[in-house]
Copies of this chain bind each other. A is one copy, B any other.
């Protein structure tokens, strides 16, 4: 009943364990006839190699660890799916660890995975600063690729979306549909996604409309904050220049008179919260205000109106990560590779042109997911689609 081993196959095929191992693993050429006999015997016995023994002997488990802050973060399931598929295609299994946003739990999980002798690690760090130590220690022992978020600088290879390009796509699009008074609802802190999107917005907005005051509110990456930000804007907005009623994390309330006609949100959750509160306040979206998000989580399709957003190239990100892990084992202190992939803009109803011209009917009739249209934005962005910035660092 207990499964067949190499010895059994060897006995059945009348040759030695060594030969059987060789033909099955294909490590060295072996006589055609013997090989056939061995293969037949193996098939007949239903032989399945014992990964534990193989791992012990060859010091490679064919397993990679995937460590992430919270699988319930709505952007991660799609990413996890893409990653597992990419890795399984390479014949590797995936050990999953969810850290509950706690850097200490993260460190423990990383240590446990190392003890389990994973061949490599894929980490979405829970904290920009506090994850650094554990990640660096792990990176010294196995190939390690950071995904989605950063973790200090020069720690390991990393793969992420090009936030700057994404934000530029959004701003170009808003300009194209005639929005002039744009406001950014972002996230505070030094986490890479927060900081990069914030910076990209600032430089992009300045470039588009050099005279305009920058309108930037900072909170966190939650729908709750999206709602709060809208409240802050709509309660302080009319009375020009007055600071928001609450001493919230916002850096500065919009000044320069009047309310914004577009809200650029740092991710989709914020956008959903903002959209919801706008509707509760009777503000027409996109009639009066356009709303955009970032990431293209599934919910972005499901809200009404659907949310215009930046779609992360998840499959490509996963493929790059898998590719990096295939590379030769960290030879000493080689400079780390940082790969940034350009995203797509997905235009939905939340940013339709203000004065509805010809095709406005779609708004009422058939706004299903199928009608999403991936923008063929300006050429530079399209060209960048497959470009990777590979900078030594």
A-side residues, CB < 8 A to B, are 48-53, 55-56, 61, 63, 66, 70-72, 74, 76-78, 80-81, 84-85, 88, 93-98, 100, 109, 111-117, 223-224, 227, 272-273, 276, 279-280, 298-299, 302-304, 364, 367-369
Q: Count chain B CB atoms within 10 A of each CB in A49, A51, A224 and give the residue with the most.
A: A51
Add 10 more A-B contacts to A66-B96, A280-B364 (CB < 8 A): A53-B56, A70-B81, A71-B84, A74-B77, A74-B298, A77-B77, A85-B98, A93-B97, A94-B95, A298-B299
Cα–Cα, bound, A52→B55 (Å) = 6
**Per a CB cutoff under 8 Å, which of B81, B113, B223 touches A302?**
B223
- Tell me if B81 and A116 are in contact (CB < 8 A): no
- Tell me if B71 and A77 are in contact (CB < 8 A): yes
Q: Given contacts A116-B93, A298-B72, A299-B302, is CB(A52)–CB(B61) below 8 Å?
A: yes
Cα–Cα, bound, A282→B71 (Å) = 36
Which residues of chain B come closer than 8 Å to A302, judged between CB atoms? Answer: 223, 272-273, 276, 299, 303
Which residues of chain B come closer than 8 Å to A224, judged between CB atoms? Answer: 368-369
Q: Count chain B CB atoms within 10 A of each CB in A49, A93, A364 and give the residue with the most.
A: A93
Cα–Cα, bound, A85→B71 (Å) = 11
Q: Count chain B CB atoms within 10 A of each CB in A85, A96, A276 and give the residue with the most.
A: A96
- Tell me if B84 and A78 are in contact (CB < 8 A): no
- Tell me if A84 and B72 are in contact (CB < 8 A): no
Which chain B residue shows the least CB distance to A301? B223
Within the complex, the shortest CB–CB distance from A7 to chain B, in Å, comes to 15
Within the complex, the shortest CB–CB distance from A41 to chain B, in Å, comes to 18
